[in-house]
Amino acid sequence: MKLKYFPILIVGILALLFVGCKKDEPTITGGTDGTDTVKTFSIPTYADDYSSISSWSNRDEWNLANVHDPSVAYYNGYYYMYGTDASYGNAAEGHGHFQGKRSKDLVNWNWIGGPFYDSPTWVADSLNAIRTRMGLSAIAKSNIQYGYWAPVVRKVTVGGKEILRMYYSIVIDNYIKTGKTNTTANFDGSWTERAFIGMCESSDPAGAVWTDKGFVTSSSSDRGLDYNRANTSDWSAYFYYNAIDPTYIVSPDGKHYLIHGSWHSGFALLQLDPISGKPLNKLGNPWASTTSDLTSRYGVRVGTRTASSRWQDSEAPEVIYKDGYYYLFMAYDGLDVPYNTRVVRSTSIEGPYLDITGRNFTSGSGDCYPIVTHPYKFNLSNGWVGISHCCVFQKQDTNDWFLMSQGRLPANVGGNASSNAIMMGHVRRLVWCPASTSEPNNLWPIALPERYAAVPDYGTITKDSLTGTWEHINLKYSYGVQDGASALTLNADGTISGALAGNWSYDAAKKQLTLGNVVVCVEREVDWEATPRRVTLVYAGTEKNLNATYWGKKKK
């Protein structure tokens, strides 16, 4: 199965700023507010290093602390968020699975309970029913090792009633051959057991009242019953599809689909019955002797990082539909530091999904661009790593799109050897940027470099407000490396100096800044690294042949 977690231990207690919000009157230097009136609003002051409040008894103070693999849906006036059962110091262990948070403003979040405390009984029953059909002995329920990963939640209408529908992953970490738990000492020459995706529904998520609907799909293999593994260094994978990391979408014509998969052979597209939420067609046994037989039942493959690889460092599909395209976001690489986000798109839910240059992700033509998020570091800060496994959603009653994921602190922040296990939820606005100066309507989604803080609209961002010095990051792919910031100056005469050279121009109506041959989108956000935090200007954008993203933040 997927190597997703490492031990999360608390080494010490760190001093923190008081958690809460302050009233702040943001002043944007250089006249960037564009009006004579400056409103007041609350700039978040909760600390990024939450280790001193990480215990379960402090969960009402967590806000966006302990967020991993989030999914967000709007329901009855709140944004509800659920994620993987993981927490710093394992603080949430034994307190239920897929615990959540909810918010009215996407900035301040309160803890709420999840759908269940114990593994649903159908999981063990389904596992042992499959094992029986495979000619294997059942695993005693008390010996089954469970993991609870990566739910997706959506608001749907069923029978005229709006509900929340959640698909969740439960991983079984026992060896197939003997059923023993997955340890080096127990290795029996087989792969570990399968994952399952189940489904539950709620009309009262605030009260943590959910009805479990049971089995949806499981990990499936194109290798028949040959589950043998040469050694623990063999990553050729028995399972073709790994039944974790589901994303769920209702197409414009009312069809329901699940896309899932991780690290093994790619992402599977499975059509669902809109009423039951279960597979539209019969799945049959989760194994086959050929890939075509398997995929005809368990889903067409819509994406793969490398077509020939069964261990390919891509996971966490998330799909949205906008303006004629299905946008498929995904995570690349290991989650501790190198985690980064890419996006591809297609006019059909089945693909082919192409990147900004035309690379075919469905056929596995290699790494895809643009980069949506990547490990980074602005000056005077520790920066963030492990920023991926995103959800993407539209703010209610607006045209604004948002991306949420976890971000991890680098190792040894403040002398804490386990600081990389600190997982803070990051909510960022998405901007839709031109692929090139010659393609103004070919727009691609990029996350802003600073997290969302609900900065009010102070009016037009003017050209004069852009002149001055910025921290510029060339957000490029380098495995496990934080991309750092360099000084870039936009001179009043329209020239650029510092990190880039050439000329710059600005379209105030579109809020698009052209840096040489790269168009970036300009917005106001909070400078989270400043002390105290303040409002500033930021930009994000790319160019189709850049194979990177530009992030920038204006210096005070």
Question: Which of 481, 445, 318, 428 minimizes the C-alpha distance to 370?
Answer: 445
pLDDT at 312: 87
C-alpha distances in angstroms, 327 versus 188, 323, 349, 352, 435?
42, 10, 9, 11, 15
The CA-based dihedral angle spanning residues 432, 435, 440, 441, taken in that order and rounded to the nearest 10 degrees: -60
Task: Report yes or no on whether pTM surpasses 0.85.
Answer: yes
pLDDT at 168: 98
pLDDT at 556: 84
DSSP 174: B
Q: Report the alpha-carbon angle 391-395-399, nearest 5.
A: 110
pLDDT above 70 for 80? yes
DSSP 133: H
3-state secondary structure of 61: helix
The dihedral through the CA atoms of 27, 28, 30, 31 has a sign that is negative
pLDDT above 60 for 31? no
Domain architecture of the chain: domains with CATH: 67-304 (2.115.10)
How does pLDDT run across 313-343, given as a tens digit for each residue? 999 999 999 999 999 999 999 999 999 999 9
How does pLDDT run across 492-529, given as a tens digit for each residue? 999 999 999 999 999 999 999 999 999 999 999 999 99
How does pLDDT run across 252-290, given as a tens digit for each residue? 999 999 999 999 999 999 999 999 999 999 999 999 999
How does pLDDT run across 219-257, given as a tens digit for each residue? 999 999 999 999 999 999 999 999 999 999 999 999 999
What proportion of the chain, given as a percentage, has pLDDT over 90?
91
pLDDT bucket at 489, cuts 50 / 70 / 90: very high
Mean pLDDT score of the chain = 93
